Amino acid sequence: MATTDLQTRFLGAQDVAAIVTQAGLAATLRGLADAIRDDYRHWQDFDKCARVASHSPVGVIELMPIANAHTYAFKYVNGHPKNTLRGLPTVMAFGVLADVATGAPVLLSELTLATALRTAAMSAVAAQALARPESKSMALIGNGAQSEFQALAFHYLLGIEELRLFDVDPQATAKLVRNLQHTPIKITLCTSIAQAARGADIVTTVTADKTKATILTPDLVEPGMHINGVGGDCPGKTELHPDVLRGASVFVQYEPQTRAEGDVQQMPPDFAVTELWQVLCGHAPGRSDERQVTVFDSVGFALEDYAALRWLRAQAEALGVGQSVSLVPDLADPKDLFSLLTGIDRPCGSQ
């Protein structure tokens, strides 16, 4: 006799959008930032590994697993920069939370929208620890699908008042301006990376091309600047000149993964980096003075997806959002899987 509820809560894209709409974007970003910060402070409780990636000439498909003693999570995600030419998002993702005690999946959720939100929240968590507290202006290099989320996270969580925008695609910048027009953020349109970076307290690079690019060079870096490098997130893809890294204190999520995928892939194995959890737990210093240049070499890590999934699950349960689906068969006799095939042709000679 079946005694276990094997229903899985499913959150589609519209469900996650409904959660964000009901909570409000500012509250969503704060909630995700709080969940991420809390989970990073429990770093030692998690069984961690670098994501498993399958690369092709046009993109990458990845699995990102993580677990603690109670919950297992993974995200499926792709990165295909030319997808927009086909009318598809560059990044598409979904994720699962499962019960470690039984292996039963308890949540299946879209993570395309949620990944953009958690990436922005992660950037803000890092900047709160590493940027100058009085930071008011940010250069945003790359104005594609992630840009609104980065802009609003820094506005709501760090008090950024001015954005200096640049993208090689003017239509992307126009889209970003249109989507931010309801906010009090002052927007300055720039004709070059140099113009955007000049005088900015924070520089966020979030470009999509899978190439060894040099978006930010040492001559554009000013004392006290915090650099939020988001776009370099797989082997062969970079945004920062190596000398930018050499002249800064560099912070990462999970060092084994960032060594292969982040901007520090350009550096020798003994190049010093600090995992951010050490700063958040008080085990290592973050910013030490006003003139220090800090870099957050962000590649995205499974712990942030775990935090996002558990936040979404709590919100969905509180708001009654989503639906129950049967991903796993609920059997009267758990040893009789064949019983699902009622009505199937029986083997010859059977009665």
* Each residue's pLDDT tens digit, 114-128: 999 999 999 999 999
Residue type, 292: Q
Residue 17 pLDDT exceeds 80: yes
Residue 65 pLDDT exceeds 80: yes
Find, among 311, 318, 304, 351, the residue nearest to 51 by Cα.
304
Confidence at residue 206, expressed as pLDDT on a 0 to 100 scale = 94
For the purposes of burial, counting CB atoms within 10 Å of the CB of 327, is it exposed (0-12), middle (13-18) or buried (19 or more)? middle
Phi-psi region of 82 (alpha: psi -120 to 50; beta: other; left: phi over 0): alpha
Token code pair at residue 185: 């953020």
Q: What is the pLDDT of residues 158-212, one digit of tens each?
A: 999 999 999 999 999 999 999 999 999 999 999 999 999 999 999 999 987 767 8
Confidence at residue 79, expressed as pLDDT on a 0 to 100 scale = 87
Confidence at residue 236, expressed as pLDDT on a 0 to 100 scale = 85
Note if the pTM is more than 0.85. yes
Residues in Cβ contact with 168 at an 8 Å cutoff, skipping those fewer than 6 apart: none
DSSP 182: T
How many whole angstroms separate alpha carbon 102 and alpha carbon 97?
12
Q: What is the DSSP string of 61-128?
A: EEEEEEE-SSEEEEEEEEE-GGGGGGT--S--EEEEEEETTT--EEEEEE-HHHHHHHHHHHHHHHHH
Residue 75 pLDDT exceeds 90: yes
Residue-range domains of the chain with CATH: 8-113+304-340 (3.30.1780.10), 132-300 (3.40.50.720)
Strand order in the sheet with 249-252: 186-189, 162-166, 137-141, 202-205, 226-229, 294-297, 249-252, 274-275
> Which is catalytic among the residues 201, 233, 263, 297?
233
- The dihedral sign for the CA sequence 24, 14, 324, 307: negative
Confidence at residue 210, expressed as pLDDT on a 0 to 100 scale = 67
Confidence at residue 239, expressed as pLDDT on a 0 to 100 scale = 94
How many whole angstroms separate alpha carbon 247 and alpha carbon 287?
14
Confidence at residue 2, expressed as pLDDT on a 0 to 100 scale = 37
Residue type, 252: V
How many whole angstroms separate alpha carbon 135 and alpha carbon 131?
7
Confidence at residue 347, expressed as pLDDT on a 0 to 100 scale = 59
Residue 345 pLDDT exceeds 80: no
Confidence at residue 204, expressed as pLDDT on a 0 to 100 scale = 98
Confidence at residue 3, expressed as pLDDT on a 0 to 100 scale = 38
User: Confidence class of residue 213 from pLDDT cuts 50, 70 and 90?
Assistant: confident
Q: How far is CA 101 from CA 90, 105, 201, in A?
A: 36, 11, 47
Q: Is 233 a catalytic residue?
A: yes
How many whole angstroms separate alpha carbon 79 and alpha carbon 153?
22
Q: Give me the residues paired with residue 238 across strands.
A: 212
Average pLDDT over residues 23-36: 98
Furthest C-alpha separation in the chain: 85
